[in-house]
Chains A and B, each alone.
Chain A
Amino acid sequence: MKLLDEFHGIRDDPYTYGKKLKAERNRKIIGYFCSYTPEEIIYAAGIHPMRLFGAQGEITLADTHFQAYCCSLVRGALEGALKGKLNFLDGTVFPHTCDSIQRLSDVWRLNTSFGFFADVVLPVKLNSESARRYMTDVLSKFRNNLEKGFGRRIEDQHLRKAIDTYNHIRTYLEQIYSLHSENPHIISGSDVYAIVRASMIMDRDDLLDKLPAVVEGIKRGDTDADNGTKKRILLVGGICNHPDVYRILEKSGGSVIWDDLCTGSRYFSGIIDNSGDPVESLANRYMERPVCPAKHLSVKSRGEHLVNLVKEKEADGVIFLLLKFCDPHAFDYPHMKEYCNRQGIPCMVLEIEDRLPTEGQLLTRFETFMHML
């Protein structure tokens, strides 16, 4: 489908998109790293929220600030900033999640000058009423910071419109996932990946204009995917920066039919009730959305969510995508694997850095796993 070329292009080269957005439309742009960023508030301020995924290529400048045990997202992001590739940004926001992101925030504040800077110190335990109130306060404070930083008012009506826009975007993204899950031959995994990925980069109004046509195109069968039998795979982890994972997996006889990724379903899960106070509504989504291992909902919540996803999406197996040096996910993995073992769900772990292992290595593992299913 022709329309998808644009999504692939933006996914391939987000920085050029950012630069164009700045140059041609004079947009203010705020960079962010994680799906706990309250994008709706940024959007409501008339600012473009653009997700940063770390750099591709050599990491050299960042290594004077970070030890090798920081993940490639953190080191790569700083590398991009220090090399001047992010000069189109007007600011950055850091929600409180893992240790490395917090340290990135410190190093970033001291070594870059993008203007606006905010730490959004979210609660870690999300299972109490006081945490809900605290979450609401933190988001209100972020709203005030943005207002002061950019000298503009964010009215409740702006927030409601933002929530509405995001609800629509999230609904479309979930719909695309569902179409693919119902029929993995209708669209390739890397196309789905490109759509969701570009959705975190593109101007959200442009995106919302285009998504209905994408959904229609998929339904009509304008997209191609190969027709072989595919094992249904659930991909689980933090971020996935590797479109090749989808292609190589499909070559091995599998297809990612759903995921529990920060750059995937966790990004679009949770439709917000837009009737009450908008900031409270935003807080509620974070309190109820499936958590990442840097947050706590209950001892069982992540494991049960995984098992439920496997059942609901009729997955044949689970692949854990573990970004090397990602502590929260690495500590979480044995616990999640236990859930799989107890339920007899076949799983494998793939540890990756900013670059994938060689294709031959990866094929051997994927093919073996498909053979096991």
Chain B
Amino acid sequence: MYFAGIDIGSITSKAAILKDGRVIGVRVIFTGYNAELAGWNVYRELLGELGLVASDVDKIVSTGYGRNSLSFVDKAVTEIICHGTGAHYLYPHVRSIIDVGGQDSKAMVLDEGGRVKDFAMNDKCAAGTGRFLEVMARALEVDLDAFGDISLKAEKAAKISSICTVFAESEVISLISKGEQRESIIAGIHESVASRISALAMRIGVREPVMMTGGVAKNRGVVKALEKKLRMTIEVSEYAQTNGAVGAAVLAMKL
């Protein structure tokens, strides 16, 4: 029996397929302007990769901001519920999840059964999201995937005080012109992101064991900065970016 989850995020779309309760494949593509098309494409590509056809799959659940744009799924569930479900399914000991995606960050606290007990979501600005990091990567002309490793080499973190993404970008540019080391600027950017996320997480009473999911969890620099701010150890899911899609597939299994 195969079950699928499709997570259409603001920047990337993810798909995951479970067989007999085990994750057998995940895939990530850019969403682009057409959420429906992205959802269909990532799903079709994953099926192809696994040598499956659509009729092999029993049930599909969609999630993410584009969850309601797919007509071929059985149910649409919010990404908060899916991230909770996915993390709990793969790592049942986890009690708090911090999910940082492209356009928003979310924190949730789970009960023993993996149900979401409380959650908070940033909604007004890009501070503390993947998009913030993207803008900074462009200003620094550094590949975003290298951000984490570069920042870990920093001796100190530059101070970035603006919360506003545009103003923070000007701050970064003036740091560059002052000759500040790239490593410490990136470390400073990570601290800034971690401040926003930790404030969100503390508001709902984040508690260990904490797991980070979402695309930004792949950035070791942010994870480390966040550990320091929260004074907690943070586990990163093996399926950080695709955890929401895995959660959706788990929910499909329960339909």
Q: Specify which chain A residues have a CB less than 8 angstroms from the CB of B77 in the assembled complex.
A: 367, 371
What's the nearest-Cβ distance from chain B to residue A353, in Å? 8
Pairwise interchain contact A364-B79, C-beta atoms closer than 8 A: yes
Cα-based distance from A367 to B81 in the complex (angstroms): 9
Task: Tell me whether B116 and A368 are in contact (CB under 8 A).
Answer: yes
Report if A365 contacts B (CB, 8 A): yes
CA of A361 to CA of B77, assembled, Å: 13
Taking the complex as formed, is A110 at the interface, i.e. its CB lies under 8 A from any CB of chain B? Answer: no
Which of B63-91 touch A at CB < 8 Å? 65, 77-81
Please, how many angstroms separate the alpha-carbon atoms of A364 and B121 in the complex?
A: 10
Q: Known pairs A363-B78, A368-B78; list 12 more (Cβ under 8 Å).
A: A357-B123, A360-B65, A361-B123, A364-B78, A364-B80, A367-B77, A368-B80, A371-B78, A371-B81, A371-B116, A372-B116, A372-B117
Q: Which residues of B contact A361 (CB under 8 A)?
A: 104, 121, 123
Number of A-B contacts (CB under 8 A): 34
**Known contacts A357-B123, A371-B77, A371-B81; is-contact A364 B65 (Cβ 8 Å):** yes
Chain B residues near A372 (CB, 8 Å)?
A: 115-117
Q: Per-residue 0/1 for A332-373: is the Cβ within 8 Å of any B Cβ (1 yes, 0 no)?
A: 000000000000000010010000010011011101100110
Least CB distance from B207 to A in Å reads 14
Q: A371 contacts which chain B residues (CB < 8 A)?
A: 77-78, 81, 116
- Chain B residues contacting A357 (CB-CB under 8 Å) are 123-124
Q: Is B119 an interface residue (CB 8 A)?
A: yes
B interface with A by C-beta (< 8 Å)? 65, 77-81, 104, 115-119, 121, 123-124
Tell me which residues across on chain A come within 8 A of B104, comparing CB atoms.
361
CA distance A364 to B62 in the complex (A): 13
A372 and chain B: residue at smallest CB distance: B116
Minimum distance in angstroms from B116 CB to a CB of chain A: 5
| B78→A367 contact, CB < 8 A | yes
Q: How far is the CA of A365 from the CA of B80 in the complex (A)?
A: 8
Q: Determine the distance from Cα of A368 to Cα of B106 in the docked complex, in whole angstroms.
A: 12
Residues of A within 8 A of B65 (CB): 360, 364
List chain B residues, Cβ under 8 A from A360.
65
Query: 3 tightest CB-CB pairs across the interface, nearest first?
Result: A368-B80, A368-B78, A367-B78
| Residues of chain B lying within 8 A (CB to CB) of residue A348 | 118-119
Chain A neighbourhood of B119, CB < 8 A: 348, 365, 368
Q: Which residues of A contact B81 (CB under 8 A)?
A: 367-368, 371
Complex Cα–Cα for A364 and B117 (A): 15
Q: How far is the CA of A368 from the CA of B79 in the complex (A)?
A: 8
Q: State the CA gap A279–B31 with chains docked (Å).
A: 65
- A212 → chain B closest CB, angstroms: 41
CA distance A278 to B187 in the complex (A): 68
Bound-state Cα–Cα, A181 to B182, Å: 60
In the bound complex, how far is the Cα of B80 from the Cα of A348, in angstroms?
14
What is the CB-to-nearest-CB distance from A284 to chain B, in angstroms, rounded to a whole number? 40
